[in-house]
Each structure stands twice: as structure tokens, then as C-alpha cells.
Chains A and B, each alone.
Chain A
Amino acid sequence: MSDPMPQALILTAIVITFGISAFLLAIIYRSWRLVRQEVVGVDEEDRRVARRSGMDADEIDPDELAPEDRPAGHADSLHSDPDVEALLDRQYPGIASDDVDLPATRRGNR
């Protein structure tokens, strides 16, 4: 004859835990839905931060920057670095340079 008390307690605990697990699953599903929801809300904080810098990064025209401020190695730069090219030429003779930048153009003239 086994003790009936643990069985009663365990059954109660199973019922409680089952209910809470179901609730937790529902919450997780809700969270999953919320994460996938693509709604761009108004973020006041974001706007405050945006106000701090005078200009947006993508408003900057690369052509108006001083040459030394431009990102290196891109089509925006007016010349490739001759020192680096010379060094590469010495160390790897026979291999063509991979500096395939197109000649610089003034994009504003297009």
C-alpha cells in the first residue's frame, strides 16, 4: 500500500505547473509576434539624439570633404596611394595591382 499523500501533492503540482506553462507559452508566442511586427514607431529619444549632430551622415557629400577625410580605397578618393602601390610592386612583382578604382569623377557634373 503506497502512501497516497505524495500522489495528491504531485497531481496538484502538475495541474498548477501545467497551467502556468500554458500561460508562459502564450506569453512567448505573443512576444514572438511582437518581435516580428515591423512597425516603425515614433521614438522621441531617437529624435533627441538625432538633433544633437547638426547633419545626417548620409547628407554629407564625399566630394566636398577634404581628401584626407575621405575613406581610403574607394572610388571617392581622387588618387590611389602611390607609396603602398610601390611597396606592393616590390614585394609581389608580376602580380597585377588590385587597386581597380575607377578614375575619380566629379559626380556633381553628371
Chain B
Amino acid sequence: VISVLAPMPVMLPLLGAAAALLVGGRHPAVQRTLSILVLAAVLTVSVVLLLIADADGAAAVSVGGWPVPLGIVLVVDRLSALMLVVAATVALGVLVFAVGQGAADGDEETPISIFHPTFLVLIAGVANAFLAGDLFNLYVGFEILLTASYVLLTLGGSAPRIRAGITYIVVSLLSSLIFLAAIALVYAATGTVNLAQLAGRLADLPDGTQLLLQSMLLIAFSIKAAVFPLSAWLPDSYPTAPAPVTAVFAGLLTKVGVYAIIRTQTLLFPGGAFDQVLMWAALATMIIGILGAVAQTDIRRILSFTLVSHIGYMIFGIALASTAGLAGAIFYVVHHIAIQTTLFLVAGLVERQGGSTSVDRLGGLAKASPLLAVLYFVPAMNLAGIPPFSGFVGKLGLLEAGVADGAWLPVVLVAGGALTSLLTLVAIARVWNRAFWRPPAQAPAADTTAAAAADAGPEIDAAPLAVAADGGAVGTPAEEIAVSAPAGGPGGRQAARRAAWLRHTAVATASTPATDGFDEEGGGIDGDRPRHALPGVMVGATAAMVVLTVALTVLAGPLYGVAERAAEDVLDRTPYVSAVFGEDAP
């Protein structure tokens, strides 16, 4: 059974992407249904794989029947199956959200026929990276998902997205080059790229060579996972993308890097040579990331910084290299994928409802949309680690593991982790207080009609003519004034200036791009503009994700059990190796 099922999470999305691309132009509805069905199938397969892997242990599949060290091997163990399930769940939620958004916006802004196939390719890449049984296949998986992410990030090709995309592409390309160079060196040193075979052969290498290879792999994966000194690219590139894209990036892409770090630190180099370095990196990631979040005013940037910051928790768990630490890290990865994706989806809804993601411009959202407030509040508290939620369970597991380690450095990290948790609460409580709780009138720069009118120019009230509703008609009378003005003295000059200013503003207001979702000019004074109801599908998808994050809390017991067994497997290494080579490991 497993030899049929294991390639499915990679095969299905790739075939689905091809089919979606074919039908895309003419039948958008077919394309949407197809993508959702494919992802639902991937989710089902992943759940079955997790059940099999949890019952029977790890299993390996040689694709195409090539003998093991040569061919492509897909390995399903508890860790990779668990990651697959979470990735497929999150991807499905985001895709439904995106379909809802596309239906609400009329598909004009983004070339939607590209979005669905690319999204499916992204999922195929993520699944391939999780299942890869050799370093080179891992590299190919990374490249598949990165290429898809380049397209998704620069969707539409507007100036800010291109600017963010270039940073992202260059940084990712650099990390891929380091990874590729590391693979070449690994092959030169050991004569294999198969992970299970490497697990045996790398230990025979001289210490210096091992350190070099390990550091190169760690640097490559740390760039992708956004560990502190290598994380500066993330907050600059993620927030500009469309809401569903940011959500799936934030949830999945960095976690693939974390997954690769777990494999490197346990399967390939179990000696723990870089544990101290990783702990310091984890501490810096947590503290500096969350300080960045506290300083921001844009919800998406705040969330991007908390994303960076909470990567530190996972690195901390990996660096502990104990079963408890790894189990905490794995549970935290699962929790964080779900929670971060949900929060970015909520940020998308906030932007749609309030017209902005800057907390300086928002206000009164709790009154305007109580449902949205609940949808933000629950995952936000979960992220900060307030007791009943899964964030608390994950953090508690990690902190306990840190205390149990006994050395002084983990204790420092425990303190840092607690501090980070509190600062996360500060950051998201500021968003709550400003965007949701305060009355809109208190917003210092609210996007109200009055503010828009005031922005139109300082002299607009003193002007002899009022700006008509359609800006195009204003151009002519303003020009008349401009022509008649230069006759007089200084007064004439001022009138000419005023007319020029009027014409300028008239042209400017006429060319104001229509904001999707609501009408900027309509509505009364003081922010009471009519708010269109949020599209039901988007709210439904987000609500389902919120329910999922709460379900993680309810199911924390069994889930933590799986995470612990996965951590034992990963630390033991023999299940993985014997799954690939049979019982007679080389």
C-alpha cells in the first residue's frame, strides 16, 4: 500500500497543476474545483500515511524500482508524515480562502489561471522536500517550491511586489547555491547523497570535514528557515504578496527549512557539534525578532516578525537534542504552521474590512465586525501562549525540556523564551487595542472621508468652486481660472497657483485607483462609511482554520504523543536507516 501512496503527495499536485493549467483559461470554475479536489486527495493520502507510519514505523519507497543508493528514495516516517498532514491541511484552507477572495473580487487583479497551478506546484515541492530520502532530492524539492513561490510572490508584477520579489529571489538563490555546493562536497567526501547511507558514512570523515559540511548545510537551511542573522529578508518580502500567498508562505516555507535542520542535526550529524551556536542563534532569533514586531505598526509586518521570532523556539528545541526538546520542537512546528497561516488569513480579512493593515489607520473593528474580532483574538492569544491553547502546550514542553537539560545556556534560553512570549503578547495586544478595540475616531490617521477631503489640499475649502463628484469635470473650470488669472497683480498670481493646485488635485482624485471591496468616497463622516459584508467563503475558510487551531489544543495529547514518538525515531536513526536499507544496514 505504502509504495503506491508515498509518491502521491508529490504526484497528485503536479498532475493537478498540469490539468489546472490546461482548463484554466476557459473554465475557471472547473479549475477551482479541480485544485480543491486535488488538495483534498493529498490531505486524505497524508492522513493515511501518518496512520500507517505511526502504526508500522518508517517505510521507504524506491521510485521506478531503481536500487537504493542510486535511485530516488521517498521515506515516510512519523516526522515527515506528520508534516505532510499539517501542510496539506493548511494548504487546503488557504486555497479555499483564495477561491473565496477570487470570487469576491471578480478575478481581475491577479491572473488567476496562473495562481492555482502554481499553488499546486508549491505544495508538490513542499511534499517532495518532506519525503525526500536523499540530499539531492531535497534540493530539487526546495527548488520546486521556491520557483513556485517566486511566481506567487510577484503575482501581478506591480512595483512593490517586484521589489520585494527581487530581494527574495536573490537571497533564495544564494541559499540554494550554498546548499548545492554542500551537496557537491558531501558527494566528493562520501560518494553518496542518500541520507540513510550518509548517516553511516559521514561519521567516518575527519572532524574538520564534518564541521565544514554541517556548517554549510546549516547556513543554507537557516536562510530558508529565517534564523536570526540570516532572517532579514523575510519581513521585507512577505507582507507585499496577496493575503493567501503570504499565509501559505508564512506557514509552510520557513518550516520546510526547520524540517531540513531537524534532519541535518539528527540524521546526518548527531554529534551535536553546533548545538551551542544554534542555541545562541535561537536566543537572538527570538529576542530580536519579537523586538522588531513590537516596533511595527502594520499588522502584516508584525506577523512577519513574530514568525521570525517563533522560529527561535523550534531551533531551541532542536539544539537541545533531547527527546523532550525535539518533541517540543516538532509539536511547535505543527502548532506554528497552523497558527501563523490563520493569522495571516485574518490579516487579509482585516485589510478587506478596514481598508488597511496599518494599526494607525484602523479602529473600531470589534464593533464593526464582532466575528472578525473573535477570529483574530483566538489565534492571537494562541500565538502568545495563553494557557488553554496549543501555543502554551508547545512552549511549556520546550521550556520544560530546557530546564531538564541542566546546563546554564538552556536556562538562559528558557528565560528568553518566556520573555519572547510576553513580548508577543504585547505586540498582538497592541494590534487588538488599536485596530479592534478603540473607537475609530481615535485613530490618528483614520481613512475617513473627512481625512480624505482634508488630504485633497489645504486650499480646497477656500476655493470658489467645489470639487464635483466626478473629478474629470473639474479640469475645465479650473483651467479657466488659470487662464484668467495672470491679468492682475500678486492676487492674480495666488489665484493662478490655487487654480493649478485645484487642477492637480482634481486630476489626482479622478485617477484614484478603485479600492477593491468597498467604495472609498461614499458614506458619511467620521468613518461611518458603509462596510460591505465580508465574503462568506473567506470568513468560512478562516473560521475553519481557527477551529483547527483550537482543535490542536483539544487534540494536544495524542498529537504530542505522535511528536514524541517521531522525536524518538529521529534521535534513534535506526528506523530511518533500516527503512531504506532493510534490516541489514550497511
Contact surface of A with B, Cβ cutoff 8 Å: 5-6, 9, 12-13, 16-17, 19-20, 23-24, 27-28, 30-31, 34, 41-42, 44, 47-48, 50-51, 54, 59, 61, 108
Q: Which residues of B contact A (CB under 8 A)?
A: 70, 136, 139-140, 143, 146-147, 150-151, 154, 157, 159, 162-163, 165-166, 169-170, 173, 176, 180, 183-184, 187, 193, 445, 454-458, 489-490, 494, 497, 508-509, 511-513
Given contacts A16-B143, A34-B159, A42-B509, whether A54 and B458 have CB atoms under 8 Å apart is: yes
A-B contact count (CB 8 A): 72
Give Cα distance in the complex from A31 to B162, angstroms.
Answer: 6
B445 near A13: Cβ-Cβ < 8 Å: no
A51, B489: Cβ atoms closer than 8 Å: no
Q: Which residues of B contact A24 (CB under 8 A)?
A: 166, 169-170, 173
- For A6, the chain B residues whose CB sits under 8 A away are 184, 187
- In whole angstroms, what is the CA distance A17 to B143 when docked? 9
* Interface residue SS majority, chain B: helix
Provide the bound-state CA to CA distance between A51 and B143, in Å.
48
Q: What residues of B have a CB within 8 angstroms of the CB of A17 in the complex?
A: 176
**Distance to closest chain B CB from A73 (angstroms):** 25
Say yes or no: A27 contacts B457, CB within 8 Å: no
CA distance in complex: A28, B170 (Å): 11
Contact of A42 among B70, B154, B162, B511 (CB under 8 A): B511
Residues from chain B with a CB closer than 8 A to the CB of A31 are 159, 162-163, 166
The minimal Cβ–Cβ distance linking B508 to chain A, given in whole angstroms, is 5
Report chain B residues within 8 Å CB of A108. 489-490
Q: How far is the CA of A12 from the CA of B184 in the complex (A)?
A: 13
Would you list the 9 A-B pairs with minimal beta carbon distance, nearest first?
A47-B455, A42-B508, A34-B159, A16-B143, A31-B162, A24-B169, A9-B136, A30-B162, A13-B180
Contact B162 A27 (CB under 8 A): yes
Can you list 14 residue pairs at the A/B interface with Cβ under 8 Å?
A6-B187, A13-B139, A20-B143, A20-B173, A23-B147, A23-B150, A23-B151, A24-B173, A27-B165, A31-B162, A34-B162, A42-B513, A47-B457, A51-B455
Set of chain B residues within 8 Å of A23, measured between Cβ atoms: 147, 150-151, 169
Chain A contacts of B187 at CB under 8 A?
5-6, 9
